[in-house]
Chains A and B, each alone.
Chain A
Amino acid sequence: MNYKDLVDYMVKSLVDHPDEVEIREVEGEKSTILELRVTKEDIGKVIGKHGRIARAIRTIINASATKSGKRVVLEILD
């Protein structure tokens, strides 16, 4: 399963500066960590009011991770 691709597509479709979206995938034994970096102006667009957008992204990733039984964590860095 390519979680990076999924997050990449959603985030790039939301932000004003898709060229500056950076995602690093850190694969562990039981969990995968996705580190997301966007420009300062776009950070609100991936977090949303009360973290609503970030939560929706996480819910969608977790649904796709159900089959593999792996834990996928999305971290938004600034």
Chain B
Amino acid sequence: MKVIEVEGRTVDDATKKALAELGIANSSKINIEVIDEGKSGIFGFGVSRPAKIRLFYNTESKDIGDTIKEVIPNIINKMGIECRITDIKEGESKVYIELESKNNSGLIIGRQGKTLEALQFMVNLIVNHKTGSDKKIILDIESYRAKRERALRKMSKDIAFKVVKTGKPWTLEPMNPFERRLIHLTLQNDSRVTTKSEGQGIYRKVTILPKQ
């Protein structure tokens, strides 16, 4: 954060001077506090006073959107994959990124979304390291997130049906917290089965059991 005080004929005049002095054109990164509005003498008589402002310039962090636009293509292109960002939505605590790749979205997603997850984790680390922000960045490509969610819901219902039929518990493959939560939520209103998570870290799995 940089703070300077500038005088000018009017407040606008002082602001222009201050921006020129700092050599910045973008006024979105500054805050202005008016110390004195100034007073111009009437017809050259009376006392004229210059306007005085204090300007706060935020130098510390780069813009999160700009950093994302730089980091993501850099990583993915270095992987030998063509890809572009089609949309960025910045919310309170999250930033949603839509990616597009002509021929290689499968490679970007990876088996069970492993690569997309690793990329998302990496981009979060790098962008947060560079900007000091703590917003969560969420990557998506070809609506993979929505498709995976639908597939997981369907699968968990199918397996619940099987569990009820056979009376034997069924353990799913290891999943990340978000996906496990989705399974628990999908089946929480199913009175015939219960769900529980077992295992540590990346090996944590959901088991669907028949209710006694």
Taking beta carbons and an 8 Å cutoff, which residues of A are in contact with B? 1-2, 5-6, 9-10, 13-14, 50, 52-53, 55-57, 59-60, 63-64, 66-67
Q: Chain A contacts of B177 at CB under 8 A? A: none
Interchain CB contact (< 8 A) of A63 among B110, B121, B125: B110
Instruction: Kindly provide the distance from the CB of B156 to the nearest chain A CB, expressed in whole angstroms.
Output: 25
Interchain CB contact (< 8 A) of A64 among B71, B81, B114, B201: B81
Taking a contact as CB atoms under 8 Å apart, the answer to whether A64 and B80 are in contact is yes
Q: Is the interface of B mostly helix, strand, loop or mixed?
A: helix
Q: Chain A contacts of B115 at CB under 8 A? A: 59-60, 63
**What is the number of contacts between chain A and chain B, taking CB atoms within 8 Å?**
58
Q: Which of A50, A60, A66 has the largest number of chain B CB atoms within 10 A?
A: A60
Q: Which of B71, B80, B114 has the largest number of chain A CB atoms within 10 A?
A: B80
Interchain CB contact (< 8 A) of B75 among A2, A10, A50: A10
Taking a contact as CB atoms under 8 Å apart, the answer to whether A59 and B80 are in contact is no
Taking a contact as CB atoms under 8 Å apart, the answer to whether B79 and A14 are in contact is no
Interchain CB contact (< 8 A) of A9 among B74, B81, B119, B125: B74
Restricting to B118-135, which residues have a CB under 8 Å from any CB of A? Answer: 118-119, 121-122, 125-126, 129-130
Q: Which residue of A lies closest to B121 (CB)?
A: A56
B107 at interface (Cβ–Cβ under 8 A)?
yes
Taking beta carbons and an 8 Å cutoff, which residues of B are in contact with A? 71, 74-75, 78-81, 107-108, 110, 114-115, 117-119, 121-122, 125-126, 129-130, 201-202
Instruction: Kindly provide the distance from the CB of A36 to the nearest chain B CB, expressed in whole angstroms.
Output: 15
Q: Chain B contacts of A67 at CB under 8 A? A: 80, 107
Give the complex CA separation of A53 and B74 in angstroms. Answer: 18
Q: Chain B contacts of A56 at CB under 8 A? A: 118-119, 121-122
Give the complex CA separation of A19 and B78 in angstroms. Answer: 20
Q: Chain A contacts of B117 at CB under 8 A? A: 59
Q: What would 4 more interface pairs be, CB under 8 Å, given A9-B74, A60-B79, A63-B115?
A: A5-B78, A9-B78, A53-B122, A59-B110
10 pairs across A/B with beta carbons < 8 Å?
Answer: A6-B79, A9-B75, A13-B129, A50-B202, A57-B118, A59-B110, A59-B117, A64-B80, A66-B107, A67-B107
Give the complex CA separation of A1 and B71 in angstroms. Answer: 19
Taking a contact as CB atoms under 8 Å apart, the answer to whether A59 and B118 are in contact is yes
